[in-house]
Each structure stands twice: as structure tokens, then as C-alpha cells.
Amino acid sequence: DGHTLALADDAAPGLYQLVLSFYDPATFEPLAAIDARTGERLPGDERKIALVQVGEAPSAPALEPPFTFGEVARLSGAFLESDSAAGRTARIHLQWDALTTPLEAYTTFVHIVDERGELVAQRDRPPLDGFAPTNTWQPGQRIVDV
């Protein structure tokens, strides 16, 4: 079974989610999604199954050399956007290149440590605040996490 979806001509460039649900045509009630590995019911009625990049993916300055995390992803670029003043927000751009589609939705963490290695700031979250879970990444896909 295939579906053809047409994006609007004026769709803004960016990263979009492909979301799927299955429903009873008589009642329009969604059917429960069950994890095929565990047999457990998954929360919610919709599944994020893939990411769609409209237009060119943004990029961050390259890391030399890039490095990988297991067989999941390569961190190929990073950029810190900040005026570095105390009390200010530091915005970090991480450029990931997917190597596989993992079964799990991983969480990334970014920590800023001082010269003694003590934590001064941190942010632990799934890529793009959960908008781009790693278990929807396709090999070769580039994700810029801001």
C-alpha cells in the first residue's frame, strides 16, 4: 500500500515529521499501536515514522575530525551561538549525520563545564526537543539540532 502526498508549493523550507495513525473506518476511533518487540501498547494514537526535509538542510561548521556515537550517528558539525556573558543563553547547533535507524529514541546532552570540570550549564533532551526522534532517522539523513 502506498500513499502519495503533495506538499504545498509554498511550503516553507525546514524539517517536517511524517506522522501515521490507523483508525476504524466505522467509528473513526484510532487503533492502539503495539510495540512488535515487546507486545506493549505504545502511548498516544500517532506514530512519528520519518522526517522529511523540504529544501536544503542547514549546516553547522564542520568538526575535524567528525566522530561517531556507536553505529547510530556521526556528529559532523557544531556551532555555539552566544555572547558568552554570564546569565546569557548559549545556543548550540549540532549537525548529525544518521548512520542507521536505531530502534530507540536517544537523548543527547550538552554540558558546559568550568576549568575544574564542574558543571555550570546543561541541556538533556531528544534531538530538536523531540521533534526529530532518532528512531525516525534514515541512513544518510542530516539533522541540525538547535
| CA proximity to 112, closest of 122, 127, 100, 126 | 122
For the chain, give the mean pLDDT: 86
pLDDT value of residue 83: 63
Q: What is the pLDDT of residues 69-102, one digit of tens each?
A: 999 999 999 887 766 666 777 788 899 999 999 9
Average pLDDT over residues 7-34: 86
Residue 2 pLDDT more than 80? Answer: no
Q: What is the pLDDT of residues 39-66, one digit of tens each?
A: 888 888 888 888 888 888 777 778 888 8
pLDDT value of residue 137: 95
